[in-house]
Amino acid sequence: MAETYPINIWINEERFEKLKNAGLGGMPKEVLAGMKVLPVPNTDAQKDMVLKLFPVAKFDAATTKSIELLPKEVKDEIFDLVVKRKSLNIMDEFLKLKEKKEV
Amino acid sequence: MKAIGHGGEEIVERVITDKNEALKKIKGLKQVPVRRQIATEAISIAYGFFSPLQGFMKKADVESTCKNMTLADGTVWSIPIVFDMSDKEIAEYGIKAGSTVLLTSDGNPLATFEVEDIFTYDKQEWSQAVYGTTDMKHPGVKRTYEYKDKFLGGKITLVNPPKLNPPFDQYWLTPLQHREKFKEKGWQRIVAHQTRNVPHTGHEWLMKHAWMATHAELSMEETEEGKAVTGTLVNCIIGEKRAGDYIDQAIILTQDALRKYGYFREDVHMTSFTLWDMRYAGPKEAIHHAIIRTNLGLTHHMFGRDHAGVGTYYHPYAAHRIFKQVPQGKLNITPIFVLEWLYCPHCGEVTCMGLCGHGKEQQKFSGTLIRSILMDGVKPTRLIFRPEIFDIVMDCAKKYGFGSPFVTPQYIEKGTPAFRIDPL
């Protein structure tokens, strides 16, 4: 399976409630002492685009193998789109929206 | 009693505290403005954090540090402490070996600098020797290559002590003041916890592990509340930051909060800081940290996994291995080597990798994961992160970090530095 370069969205009770309502309650993974994380997958090209659009973000190749340091508001937008589309495959749409704003 | 520091030398403060004497000393001296990096190290030299150094290093010391991991006189030393300048600047200020100049910072007098040596050094050789690489992506190598082409060595005398900005002012102690504090507390053994992190419970357990190892064969009566003879000093590193690091205020306030909220008893824990720009030199930096803490009067120093490392340049336990290369008696501080602490869902607790047998189930702490959780503003479970610490981190983000607990370009540009130099 190809690498997916996830963006880790951490799930608190409020976010978990929204996910359950969208039928995605089974999607978060438990990683550290019961902490829930929703890994939103990115292809290699999407990962490069995320890093280009948000220069503060970094791909952590050494430990987590995920895209980190994205500002909270950006992750909030990604999470909202996941809930709206009831799917984790939203990065193309998200990046297109962001690219339009950039232009 | 004399305060004996690294290399068996007495700690000497090269600081003039009398204003009139300082004004007399600097009268007529050529003023040389210095950047923050140099000001920070001049302050540390003057107070004895880098004892036995009394000034910026001369060529013989830099050469010996790179080639032998010692100063020219054989004292163990691992990282060059240098003052760099371009030929153009040297000519402009008319500096020669034998000149004394006044270093200024924030436009105000800082220290006198008695220049004894002006030299060049091969930066590639230096990088390879100290960092084990010449890769410019390594932050220590980058700093080395960014130095100007000439180096000036000679003694420093602080003429205008720094003023510490809140909240750092509550935690600033010179090496001699550290020793006074330890005496007041009745501590006979003190173990250093070196940090540039906000603590999660994995860090907390590393500290507890190191305290127990330090107390070792001493009696249990000597751990009774109010009679403790063994203490933990959390000595935070405050200096140059990289994007994504925790902001300095969050580091120092959360570390101190571990005691304030009872995770460590009042009489076994204290917090202070050292001004130092991390070089990320891994094992060589571990030696440097041991030297600094010796000068602060500590007896033990904890070294965990990947101490002062960056990326994948060093073996996770390289900082442990290097101490085997130091001849006995050359470092007057005992290293305490600790293994990783992690969360095991089977044990239902934070436990030590060297003890827990549920290998496949173990969940390792990752600084990046914790940062990621905090970035989302999600409160972690108290098993991995104390709720009081989370609240302080978020408060620091608002008060000092322009909304973020992590270093941003805005924090680097406009954040309140640890110290300032006021007019004399």
**What ipTM was reported for this prediction?**
0.89
Cβ distance A8 to B369 less than 8 Å, yes or no, reads: yes
- In this prediction, residue A71 has a pLDDT band, given cuts at 50, 70 and 90, of confident
Provide the 3-class DSSP secondary structure of residue B104: strand
Which residues are within 8 A (CB) of B55 and not within 5 positions of it... i.e. 6 or more apart? B45, B113, B114, B116, B153, B154, B155, B156
Q: Which two tokens stand for residue A39?
A: 């890994």
**Partner residue opposite B363 with nearest CB, options A11, A33, A70:** A33
Among the residue ranges B104-118, B147-161, B372-386, the one predicted with the least confidence is: B372-386
Q: Which two tokens stand for residue B232?
A: 């933990």
Q: Looking at the predicted structure, is the pLDDT value of residue A1 above 60?
A: no
Give me the mean pLDDT over the B307-320 stretch. 93
**Partner residue opposite A68 with nearest CB, options B312, B368, B379:** B368
The pLDDT tens digits for B362-412 are: 999 888 889 989 989 999 999 999 999 999 999 999 999 999 999 988 999
Q: Does A99 touch chain B (CB under 8 A)?
A: no
Cβ distance B372 to A32 less than 8 Å, yes or no, reads: no
A10, closest residue in chain B (CA to CA): B373
Provide the 3-class DSSP secondary structure of residue B10: strand
Domains contained in chain A, number: 1
Where in chain B are the domains?
6-161, 168-420
- In this prediction, residue A2 has a pLDDT band, given cuts at 50, 70 and 90, of low
The predicted pLDDT at position B305 comes to 92
Give me the mean pLDDT over the A22-27 stretch. 95
Give the integer Cα–Cα distance in Å for B123 and B145: 6
- A66 contact residues in B (CB cutoff 8 A): 368, 372
Which residues are within 8 A (CB) of B101 and not within 5 positions of it... i.e. 6 or more apart? B29, B30, B31, B32, B93, B95, B112, B113, B115
CATH architecture of B6-161: Roll (3.10)
Q: Looking at the predicted structure, is the pLDDT value of residue B94 above 90?
A: yes
The pLDDT tens digits for B242-290 are: 888 999 999 999 999 999 999 999 999 999 999 999 999 999 999 999 9
For residue A30, report the phi and psi dihedrals to the nearest 5 degrees. -90, 125
Cβ distance B372 to A58 less than 8 Å, yes or no, reads: no
Give the integer Cα–Cα distance in Å for A22 and A2: 27
Give me the mean pLDDT over the B235-241 stretch. 96
The predicted pLDDT at position B242 comes to 87
- B343 contact residues in A (CB cutoff 8 A): 32-33
Cβ distance B368 to A32 less than 8 Å, yes or no, reads: no
Q: Looking at the predicted structure, is the pLDDT value of residue A103 above 80?
A: no
- B244 contact residues in A (CB cutoff 8 A): 58, 69
Q: Does A12 touch chain B (CB under 8 A)?
A: yes
Query: What's the domain range around A70?
Result: 7-102
Of the residues B305, B375, B398, the best mutation for testing chain A's interface (the one with the most A CB atoms within 10 Å of its CB) is B375
Min Cα distance B269 → chain A (Å) is 27
Cβ distance B373 to A35 less than 8 Å, yes or no, reads: yes
Q: Looking at the predicted structure, is the pLDDT value of residue A28 above 90?
A: yes
Length of chain B in terms of residues written: 424
Q: Tell me how many residue pairs between chain A and chain B have CB atoms under 8 A apart.
A: 66
The pLDDT tens digits for B23-79 are: 999 999 999 999 999 999 999 999 999 999 999 999 999 999 999 999 999 999 999
Identify whether A1 is part of a domain: no
Min Cα distance B391 → chain A (Å) is 16
Min Cα distance A102 → chain B (Å) is 20
**Partner residue opposite A10 with nearest CB, options B311, B368, B372:** B372
Provide the 3-class DSSP secondary structure of residue B222: helix
Cβ distance B379 to A12 less than 8 Å, yes or no, reads: yes
Give the integer Cα–Cα distance in Å for B95 and B152: 9
Give the integer Cα–Cα distance in Å for B342 and B349: 8
From the list B165, B174, B25, the residue with the least C-alpha distance to B109 is: B25
Model pTM score: 0.93
**What is the homologous superfamily of the domain B168-420 according to CATH?**
HUPs (3.40.50.620)
Q: Does A64 touch chain B (CB under 8 A)?
A: yes
Output the DSSP codes for A34-93.
TEEEEEE---HHHHHHHHHH-TT-EEETTTT-EEE---HHHHHHHHHHHHHHTSS--HHH
